[in-house]
Structure 1
Amino acid sequence: MPVDVNNFFDLKAKDKAKQEISMQTFENKVILVVNVASKCGFTPQYTGLEELYKKYKDQGLVIIGFPCNQFGGQEPGNEEEIESFCQVNFGVTFPLMAKIDVNGEKEDPVYAWLKSQKAGLMGLQRIKWNFEKFLINREGKVVERYSSITTPSAIAKDIEKLL
């Protein structure tokens, strides 16, 4: 990870069409980044994430889902299948990116940076499971990291403070 990456907006990632986009697209927004999967026990959190997105998007919230198949093979589909599943089953309208690795040799630079900014439980940097969440303020700084068991509704108060 380059040392000159000072904030989230200095990063790039691939969208669901596998086109590279700058995170500057989301500058001046409050962002919740989530590694998602379609066949996980936490998959119903899509409902809560979409509720948060609908409630706060006009105030400046963006939720960005990064599909990942590293945990129990729980995201086996391609980008089109993932998007269709999310729309049909959960009405997801927030942005979904290309499928990535969040740990290991091929980890996406976005996740390498996020993990370097905020450790998880017991100081662990690695992502433990699907649906871990990172809350980023309008300045592009990570302000909080939430475990998979933290429900989207439990994050609402923290989002409201940043909006």
Structure 2
Amino acid sequence: MIDRRTMIATMASAAALPFAARSAQAQAAMSRMTAYGFSFQSLKGGDIRLADYAGKPLLVVNTASLCGFTPQYAGLQEIWTQFRERGLTVIGVPSNDFGAQEPGGASDIAQTAEHTYHVTFPITVKTSVKGPNAHPFYKWAAAERPADVPGWNFHKYLVGRDGYLADVFSSRVEPADTRVITAISRTLA
């Protein structure tokens, strides 16, 4: 025969189990990683800590100096100039992953971005954006949006103020495209 204390303890633990499971799920959702948890090495030295931009939208773009889309640097600079005072940061992430179109080192990347296209937004060192050696930000983005991973250079991830991906644009979508401008404007609202 079960005594009264054992019966009450059993019922209490059974009742608490679903709550504990729900609580753990809620905690996991609340502690889910955001873009602000990542850093990149800056082309100019030091780190580009995305946490420094917490609460502000980011446009993270994998770039390349010898790509047919390289002129998009000019459009990215226009977006940076137009929206930076409202809080948007554009970050260029040079990558040699697609067609070996970023073969040079830091000075070559700087020559293209800063001297040819007059880019003033932050640029990282050459970084892998796909495969097992991809930068952790790109692994996170691929897990968040598996159907929207970079297929080529100048793939654009728009991170909202909450640190989660707000939108994704393929290489073929120009930075000045209405869809990009509208999405950026929404994240700044």
Aligned 8 A contact 1:118 1:144 in 2: no
User: Secondary structure at 2:168's aligned position in 1?
Assistant: strand
Q: Which runs of 5 or more residues in structure 1 are unaligned? A: none
The corresponding residue for 1:36 is 63
Q: Within 5 A, what are the aligned runs for 1:63-102?
A: 63-102=90-129
Cα distance between partner residues in 1 of 2:53 and 2:96: 25
The corresponding residue for 2:43 is 16
Cα distance between partner residues in 2 of 1:138 and 1:130: 25
* C-alpha RMSD of matched pairs (Å): 1.6
The corresponding residue for 2:18 is none
Cα distance between partner residues in 1 of 2:57 and 2:149: 23
**More contact order relative to length (CA 8 Å, sep ≥ 6):** 1
User: Secondary structure at 1:72's aligned position in 2?
Assistant: coil
Cα distance between partner residues in 2 of 1:53 and 1:24: 19
- Structure 1 or 2, whichever has the larger Rg, is 2
Q: Within 5 A, what are the aligned runs for 1:48-127?
A: 48-119=75-146, 123=147, 126-127=149-150
Of Structure 1 and Structure 2, the greater helix share is in 2
Aligned 8 A contact 1:28 1:138 in 2: yes
The corresponding residue for 1:150 is 173
User: Secondary structure at 1:32's aligned position in 2?
Assistant: strand
Cα distance between partner residues in 2 of 1:21 and 1:55: 21
Deviations 1:106-138 (A, max 9, x none): 11101101121123xxx3x54210000000011
